[in-house]
Every structure is written in structure tokens, then in C-alpha cells.
């Protein structure tokens, strides 16, 4: 058995909220890229462990990862979702309404990095699932908008394993490689790359 099959087999022993199952079905029907469920579960646990009250996501799609962050975390006060596409945020709003969490939801249409930069507050948890070529800009802005003790999570840190291959040098791969190197060298963060899904970097801001 492959490692991933074993991890999924264990994951499947756990309950999943019906709205998350519905969202997975919706994503599949549109072939819409969403967080791998193993990664989403980890993000969800971290949100609860951190007792995150104020959360921001760059690149929310129709809200699947945001729902995982919200649905098991009763400490949550506000979760800010961003996307370029109005239809995605509209679907996210509908799913949050179904889950009874619409009072915690704030949606912003446009570039999530600029929106985060313009926010007059700091966050307990920031999730980054932006376009991969934007990751270095994300890091600059997140450093200013995350509380000390706050958590920064970035998806696609392995970028389909391309970061491992020296002959893969497209713009996305080069940026993710540089992003990974930068965040691990940054003394403001303590980081760990967890090789589940497409690789997820979990960082805590320590200064």
C-alpha cells in the first residue's frame, strides 16, 4: 500500500460534516481545485488549537478550505474570504448560510494580497492559496498582518513535486522554491513543511 492510501484510509475513519461532503461534490463537478482533504483536516485542527478568532484567506474559491477552518472552531469570530471571481464568493456565501455560519463570514472581491494589506487589523491565522507566482508578495504582506503567535499556512509547497526536480524551472516552481527557502530562513517564523496533499507549510510568527 502507498503511504497516501494509508493516510486516506485513516482519514476516512473520521466524521466529515455533511456540508464539507457537499462542497467536495460541488468542487468535483466543476473540476475546481480545492485543498486535499488531509491538508484541510490539518488546517482545521490548527485553527482550533490556535483558538483562532480572526482569520484571513488569500484565494478562497467557493470556500471549502475556509469552511474546514470555521466549522469545527467555536472560537472563530470573523473569517475573511477573498477571490477574483464574484461567483466563487457567492457560492461560498451560500455554503456558509447552509452551515449556519454566515454571521462570521466576510467576503472581499479582488486581489486578496492588496485587500489584506489594506485591512486595519491583525489576524490569528492566515491561509495562503493564491496564484503561485504571487507567493513572495504574499509573504511580505502576511508578515505585517499576522499577530505574534499567529499561524501562517501555505498550500502547494511541493507544487506537484516539481520543487524537488532540478530541471523544473517554470515561473511557478521557481517562485515556490524561493518562497520555501525564504520562509524557512526568516527569523520571524518557525516553520514546518508537512508533505501531505501538495505539501503544506505551517509557520508560527514568533517575532
Ligand X SMILES: C[S@@+](CC[C@H](N)C(=O)[O-])C[C@H]1O[C@@H](n2cnc3c(N)ncnc32)[C@H](O)[C@@H]1O
Residues engaged in binding ligand X (CB under 6 A): 33-35, 58-61, 64-65, 82-85, 88, 111-113, 129-131, 134
> Which residue(s) pair with 79 in the sheet?
55, 105
* Nearer to ligand X (CB atom), residue 83 or residue 172: 83
* Nearer to ligand X (CB atom), residue 27 or residue 184: 27
Contact 203, 155 (CB under 8 A): no
Q: Residue written as cell 510568527?
A: 205
3-state secondary structure of 52: coil
Question: What is the nearest approach in angstroms of ligand X to the Cβ of residue 164?
Answer: 21
Question: What is the nearest approach in angstroms of ligand X to the Cβ of residue 82?
Answer: 4
Contacts of 30 (CB under 8 A, 6+ apart): none
* Nearer to ligand X (CB atom), residue 69 or residue 163: 69
**Alpha carbon 146 to chain centroid, angstroms:** 14
Torsion of CA 152, 153, 156, 162, to 10 degrees: 60
* Nearer to ligand X (CB atom), residue 108 or residue 177: 108
Question: What is the nearest approach in angstroms of ligand X to the Cβ of residue 19?
Answer: 13
Question: What is the nearest approach in angstroms of ligand X to the Cβ of residue 72?
Answer: 16
Amino acid at each position: 500500500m502507498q503511504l497516501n492510501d494509508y493516510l486516506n484510509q485513516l482519514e476516512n475513519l473520521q466524521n466529515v460534516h455533511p456540508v464539507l461532503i457537499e462542497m467536495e461534490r460541488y468542487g468535483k463537478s466543476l473540476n475546481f481545485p480545492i485543498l486535499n482533504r488531509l491538508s484541510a483536516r490539518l488546517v482545521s485542527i490548527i485553527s482550533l488549537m490556535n483558538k483562532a478568532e480572526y482569520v484571513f484567506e488569500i484565494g478562497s474559491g467557493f470556500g471549502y478550505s475556509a469552511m474546514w477552518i470555521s466549522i469545527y472552531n467555536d472560537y472563530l469570530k470573523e473569517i475573511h474570504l477573498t477571490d477574483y471571481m464574484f461567483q466563487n464568493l457567492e457560492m461560498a456565501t451560500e455554503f456558509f448560510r447552509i452551515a449556519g455560519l454566515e454571521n462570521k463570514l466576510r467576503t472581499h472581491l479582488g486581489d486578496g494580497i492588496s485587500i489584506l494589506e489594506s485591512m486595519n487589523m491583525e489576524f490569528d491565522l492566515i491561509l495562503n492559496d493564491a496564484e503561485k507566482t504571487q507567493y513572495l508578495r504574499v509573504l511580505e504582506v502576511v508578515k505585517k498582518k499576522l499577530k505574534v503567535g499567529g499561524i501562517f499556512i501555505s498550500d502547494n509547497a511541493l507544487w506537484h513535486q516539481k520543487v524537488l526536480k532540478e530541471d523544473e524551472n517554470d515561473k511557478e516552481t521557481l517562485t515556490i522554491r524561493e518562497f520555501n527557502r525564504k520562509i524557512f530562513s526568516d527569523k520571524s517564523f518557525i516553520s514546518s513543511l508537512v508533505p501531505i496533499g501538495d505539501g503544506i507549510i505551517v509557520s508560527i510568527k514568533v517575532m
